[in-house]
Amino acid sequence: MNNQEYLSSLNRQAIVEKLGGEEFDILVIGGGITGAGIALDAATRGLRVALIEKHDFASGTSSRSTKLIHGGLRYLKQFEIALVREVGQERDIVFHNAPHLVIPEKMLLPIVKGGSLSSFSASIGLYVYDWLAGVVRSERRKMLSTKTTLQTEPLLNKDIVIGGALYTEYRSDDARLVIETIKKAVEHGAVCLNYIEAKNLIYNNQGKVTGADSTDLNSGNSFQVKARKVINAAGPWVDEIRELDKSRKGKRLHLTKGIHLVVDHARLPIHHATYFDVADGRMIFAIPRAGITYIGTTDTNYKGNKENPGVTKADVDYILAAANAIFPDAKLAVEDVQSSWSGLRPLIHEDGKDPSELSRKDEIFISSSGLVSIAGGKLTGYRQMARKSVDVVLKQMKEDDNQAFVSCKTEKMTLSGGEFKNRDEIFKYIEKCTGEAKQIGGTQQEVADLVWKYGSNTAEIIEKAYELRETNRTTGAEQPENLLWQAEVWYGINKELVLNLGDFLIRRTGMLYFERPQIAKRLGFYKQQFAQMLKWDNVELQHQAEYFNNEYTAVVDFTNEEK
Ligand SMILES: Cc1cc2nc3c(=O)[nH]c(=O)nc-3n(C[C@H](O)[C@H](O)[C@H](O)COP(=O)(O)OP(=O)(O)OC[C@H]3O[C@@H](n4cnc5c(N)ncnc54)[C@H](O)[C@@H]3O)c2cc1C
């Protein structure tokens, strides 16, 4: 198989055999942004890499963030200057490497009576923030009068706003960032597979970790993945892997939960992403995005079920009360919530600190068995986290076997789909693809939606749509309702390791969060396509449909207590 074929779920068995049949240089446990970044970094330094993910790629925290590639303005308040500088600079790198997924967005910061920032402190803070991140002059912060702030965002509460600022942040899609990184890693020879769980670690005679007993959760089969080094990038589960290694000593994880609520944009029709004060002294975001506005986040200690942290009624009340205080005319109610998500921050515990005070810095733990665990950090800083982890492993390899140290190569490496020199090229590409998709009934909006997800790989989806039309004609099969939808499902299964409806509707397309009403209309179509392409019989289809239905209803099912 060529490297690309390792991205097809139809080749799953061959990929499992490869995982079980070779000795790799590095085994990465965890397919969130941290693990994906490590796989890409290591593969491009010439190492043979295996990555296993127990659920789907990005199914942990990396599909449940605020989806901003940002420097973390609030960390400036905590004087985490080095962190702000690092993530600020990384923000620019990710923007250039995945321009189809990282969208510059003006963020409005209203200054309110009794709020945490005055015009003066906001002006200084944002100046430093831009300076640390090396923001170009035209994009630097602009302070606004009360009148201009209210003109910029008429929905703001006129009784409390006393000024404002506009500064630049970047909106992204966390789960797509993960998959584009995985795809690039696979292009460079990494073997990455979802639904493979590390159950136990394996060791050599000297007590050094040399792989993991693993189970394919799709087939139930178990096998060993062997490697010279193991990196634990299991996010909220990092301590569980350290426990398997009997090395959970000293510093430990502290999980805090953050939720987001999605409402129809018509119910909160803001023009700008807004970062605003909450009565308890925290700040949260309201972010408009193609037909919806999402609001978040909370930050509460969490000790419940890690697999699927839910959203409680108290979480909903908190976010709605905060939004209604700053946008009083919206009068948002629980009935307005169309969707939601809830994620866990894998932070490093510090005695006596509240959730919001805990540092977002990343940290690496190296155990006596050689297991390298990495935790903390931000989506935005994933490339540096990857670089640091692989540096550590290469240093170990130098000590063990005198292996040459190769430096990190990812700074100027575009992710899959990111082959554009600048944003203008993206708009030209949308025009070009729209022309190409006309004959199969593709609209400009549909094509643009694809390009902002799949970037320069969109042409492959359009090409496939033509091919499917021909196949349908020759076989006499009925043409589907929409050839682009059919081709997109094909692309997910054949090029992005999609194995079930949730992989596609939650993490590859974001539809469950951002277009939930569309799912209700198209689900029958998707079920039929999946059954056909993955050869599900009726029993399997029923099972898959029920599984997805639970995920579909969970996003509007708010509990009284943590799960
Ligand atoms: C509410 C919230 C908002 C945030 N907002 C932002 C933001 O706007 N910008 C930003 O930069 N950062 C943000 N972050 C932080 C960012 O999302 C996280 O730092 C990042 O996603 C963590 O990625 P990870 O890969 O370390 O963990 P995860 O994404 O959780 O990945 C770990 C993976 O390991 C897998 N795994 C666990 N155990 C095993 C096993 N035994 N075998 C195989 N696989 C296993 C899990 O299934 C999981 O997929 C936010 C976080 C939260 C919670």
Q: Nearest Cα to 94, choosing from 310, 361, 378?
A: 378
Q: What is the pLDDT of residues 476-504, one digit of tens each?
A: 988 888 999 999 999 999 999 999 999 99
Q: What is the pLDDT of residues 146-194, one digit of tens each?
A: 999 999 999 999 999 999 999 999 999 999 999 999 999 999 999 999 9
In angstroms, what is the span from residue 327 Cα to ligand 1's centroid? 31
Per-residue pLDDT at 538: 98
Best residue for ligand 1 mutational test, from 65, 87, 194, 497 (most atoms within 8 Å of Cβ): 65
Give the Cα separation of 286 and 146 in Å (integer): 20
pLDDT-derived band of residue 132, with 50, 70 and 90 as boundaries?
confident
Measured distance between the N- and C-terminal CA atoms of the chain, rounded to whole angstroms: 43
In angstroms, what is the span from residue 235 Cα to ligand 1's centroid? 5
User: H-helix or E-strand containing 262?
Assistant: strand 253-264
Written as six digits, the tokens of 323 are 């939004």
Per-residue pLDDT at 76: 76
Best residue for ligand 1 mutational test, from 61, 176, 244, 358 (most atoms within 8 Å of Cβ): 61
- For the domain covering 103-172+254-357, report its CATH number: 3.30.9.10
- pLDDT mean over 516-536: 96
- pLDDT mean over 539-548: 98
Q: What is the pLDDT of residues 80-95, one digit of tens each?
A: 888 888 888 899 999 9
Per-residue pLDDT at 531: 98
Q: What is the pLDDT of residues 32-53, one digit of tens each?
A: 999 999 999 999 999 999 999 9
Give the Cα separation of 91 and 87 in Å (integer): 6
Ligand 1 atom at shortest distance from the alpha carbon of 343: 53
Taking the whole predicted model, whether its pTM rises above 0.75 is answered as yes
Written as six digits, the tokens of 33 are 């942004």
Q: What is the dihedral sign for C-alpha 62, 100, 261, 160?
A: positive
Q: Nearest Cα to 238, choosing from 34, 25, 26, 19?
A: 34
- pLDDT mean over 273-278: 96
Q: With respect to CATH, is domain 423-554 assigned 1.10.3210.10?
A: no
Give the torsion through C-alpha atoms of 238, 240, 245, 249, to 10 deg: 80
Q: Nearest Cα to 377, choosing from 29, 35, 59?
A: 35
- pLDDT mean over 7-14: 98
Per-residue pLDDT at 79: 75
Give the Cα separation of 3 and 188 in Å (integer): 7
Per-residue pLDDT at 352: 82
The strand pairing partners of 197, in sequence order, are 215
Written as six digits, the tokens of 274 are 């807004």
- Given a cut of 80, whether residue 71 has pLDDT beyond it is no
Give the Cα separation of 293 and 514 in Å (integer): 9
- Given a cut of 90, whether residue 134 has pLDDT beyond it is no
In angstroms, what is the span from residue 379 Cα to ligand 1's centroid? 8
- Give the mean pLDDT of the chain: 95
Residues with CB under 6 A from ligand 1: 29-35, 52-55, 59-62, 64-68, 70, 197-198, 233-237, 258, 297, 343-346, 377-380
CATH of 3-61+175-251+359-401, one of 3.30.470.20, 3.60.70.12, 3.50.50.60, 1.10.10.10: 3.50.50.60
In angstroms, what is the span from residue 445 Cα to ligand 1's centroid? 31
Per-residue pLDDT at 229: 98
- Given a cut of 90, whether residue 361 has pLDDT beyond it is no
Q: Nearest Cα to 336, choosing from 517, 155, 201?
A: 517
- Given a cut of 90, whether residue 135 has pLDDT beyond it is no
- Given a cut of 90, whether residue 534 has pLDDT beyond it is yes
Other CB atoms within 10 A of residue 350 CB: 12
Per-residue pLDDT at 477: 86
Domain ranges of the chain: 3-61+175-251+359-401, 103-172+254-357, 423-554
In angstroms, what is the span from residue 455 Cα to ligand 1's centroid? 23
Q: Nearest Cα to 100, choosing from 408, 452, 481, 469?
A: 452
User: H-helix or E-strand containing 431?
Assistant: helix 423-437
Q: What is the pLDDT of residues 306-326, one digit of tens each?
A: 998 999 999 999 999 999 999
In angstroms, what is the span from residue 410 Cα to ligand 1's centroid? 20
- pLDDT mean over 107-124: 93
Give the Cα separation of 192 and 195 in Å (integer): 10
Q: Which residue has the tokens 């940002």?
A: 70
With a CB cutoff of 8 Å and minimum separation 6, the contacts of 538 are none
